[in-house]
Structure 1
């Protein structure tokens, strides 16, 4: 019927998995936190950075803060800040509609950047591990970077779930707009792997400058059962049903040898997306190495400097 075996069909219709179970099985592997957000009610004189934050370094760890918070990176983060990076990084906690505290990081990579990238990262990492990548990416594409941790990841409280993903990115979106005054037309939503789930959901509800979907999935069931053609009511992460509602330009990036989320997912989303621009299919790339290919930065730069410039002309 849908290419599923009799046994698989029986499992689906006799005892269908609930979305939370699909989500837990496919997606959520929060790492041991590589950082902590610490209260900083009285920053020491002379340590204030732009935006009212604080910055200091001690031995092999670094501390950076914004307002009431400072970020303590552990050695597990595999990256430690220089003073220059401290001065352009803010961290804080916001609260989601589901009551969880959400850790956020804002990096001013480019002083005169037109766009800010709201980045939803992949699985098994947190902000401490992603920070060096964000600094390098933002510098190279001339954008500032704003990111957050999902519930249960890093300093964010609660447990990972599909509903929490949507609430987490909503909290990040509103924090970016209210705290930094960034207008939607200057925000690029970027989702990687599981991060494409909250990205597509938000992009289907709010117009923004653009959307980047990096190694995206069509739905949880289609990852677990590759021959699935229909979206069942108990499916989790139904990007395939939401992507057609995105009113903003969409760039889809996928490796042709992706061993985690098959290349066919990227193709299917591209075909369903009415405002998709020329995609980037990286020949030979897997799930976690697309950034190592020169085409990656080249396509992002062209997307931002040419495709979006034409859209906003």
Structure 2
């Protein structure tokens, strides 16, 4: 999500400002797919195969803990899903909506490391048009994608809502907030969240226009679950003010994590990131 050029600004306001058009201009950067799903003889079971585009190749032990499958959204797209079993006795499963310009092939190594450190399993999916998902990226598709992932997680694994933590990072906070505003869950984690598309492109925006994309700021007040907000104070993509605004609007927000000196893509490298997650999941949610 970068600032807009003069030419893009003209297009934005001279053309009909439909939310899907704003979303496409501001947000979606699907990378070249870094993985494929290889089916067995029956065609019903898949295994994850990483291409040479992936930055990290897994050991067989790591591959054995990743179960992958496809599911269909209400808008007709087929999206890949992955269950990363990090801990055999995990109480919580994170439904993780990842950030921009990455896909499941790039993220699963992070999921293995994160889940094993915070004692959670992680379930994730690719947005329409990302990785091996069909369709094109759009705001409406993104909401249908997270709903399909939620339904697949519930139906396939029988996990109760109170044992699910919704985790959204960057653009992934958009579907996370939408889902969390409609279902009560164990908890919600919003990492580098944006308030709305227009507010990212035009920081002086004070209200939500009818054509705005990703209006998360208007949905967070409907979240009834505990919410942990995480944001870097030096975020160069989604300004720190977005995290503050989201935090102030959440009815059940817990103590946030403001990572001093962190940007948009390096929050996880700071020690307090894991410390805060562990405290939230193992102590605050239990109590």
1:268 partnered with 2:252:
no
User: Is the partner of 1:306 in helix, strand or coil?
Assistant: helix
CA contact (8 A) 2:165 2:185 kept: yes
1:286 partnered with 2:263:
yes
In 2, Cα distance between the equivalents of 1:10 and 1:155?
34
In 1, Cα distance between the equivalents of 2:274 and 2:141?
31
> Could you give the per-residue CA deviations for residues 133-168 of structure 1, whole angstroms, max 9, x where no partner exists?
000000000000000000000011000000000000
Which 10-residue stretch deviates more, 227-236 or 84-93? 84-93
| Equivalence map 1:213-224=2 (5 Å) | 213-224=190-201
| Equivalence map 1:188-227=2 (5 Å) | 188-227=165-204
In 2, Cα distance between the equivalents of 1:12 and 1:20?
11
In 2, Cα distance between the equivalents of 1:202 and 1:10?
33
Post-superposition shift, 1:39? 2.6
TM-score (norm 1): 0.87
In 2, Cα distance between the equivalents of 1:94 and 1:112?
26
1:136 partnered with 2:120:
no
In 2, Cα distance between the equivalents of 1:161 and 1:40?
32
Post-superposition shift, 1:307? 1.3
In 2, Cα distance between the equivalents of 1:13 and 1:251?
36
For residue 124 of structure 2, what is the aligned residue in structure 1? 147
Provide structure 2 residue ranges, at least 5 long, that are not aligned to the other structure. Answer: 1-7
CA contact (8 A) 1:102 1:156 kept: yes
User: Is the partner of 1:93 in helix, strand or coil?
Assistant: strand
Gap change, CA 1:14 and 1:89, over 3 Å in 2: closer
Gap change, CA 1:175 and 1:225, over 3 Å in 2: same
In 2, Cα distance between the equivalents of 1:271 and 1:252?
10
Post-superposition shift, 1:25? 1.2
Query: Cα RMSD between the aligned structures?
Result: 1.7
CA contact (8 A) 1:16 1:234 kept: no
CA contact (8 A) 2:166 2:187 kept: yes
For residue 171 of structure 1, what is the aligned residue in structure 2? 148
In 1, Cα distance between the equivalents of 2:246 and 2:15?
28
> Could you give the per-residue CA deviations for residues 3-53 of structure 1, whole angstroms, max 9, x where no partner exists?
xxxxx999877655211111111110000000012332349xxxxxxxxxx
Runs of 4+ more than 4 Å apart: 8-16
CA contact (8 A) 2:162 2:186 kept: yes
Post-superposition shift, 1:70? 2.1
Post-superposition shift, 1:75? 1.7
In 2, Cα distance between the equivalents of 1:124 and 1:85?
23
In 1, Cα distance between the equivalents of 2:49 and 2:249?
43
In 1, Cα distance between the equivalents of 2:10 and 2:82?
45
CA contact (8 A) 1:27 1:123 kept: yes
In 1, Cα distance between the equivalents of 2:68 and 2:240?
35
> Could you give the per-residue CA deviations for residues 106-153 of structure 1, whole angstroms, max 9, x where no partner exists?
011011000000000000000000011000000000000000000000
CA contact (8 A) 2:48 2:63 kept: no
1:228 partnered with 2:229:
no
CA contact (8 A) 1:117 1:146 kept: yes
In 2, Cα distance between the equivalents of 1:275 and 1:177?
24
Aligned positions, number: 280
In 2, Cα distance between the equivalents of 1:10 and 1:271?
33
For residue 90 of structure 2, what is the aligned residue in structure 1? 113
For residue 101 of structure 1, what is the aligned residue in structure 2? 78
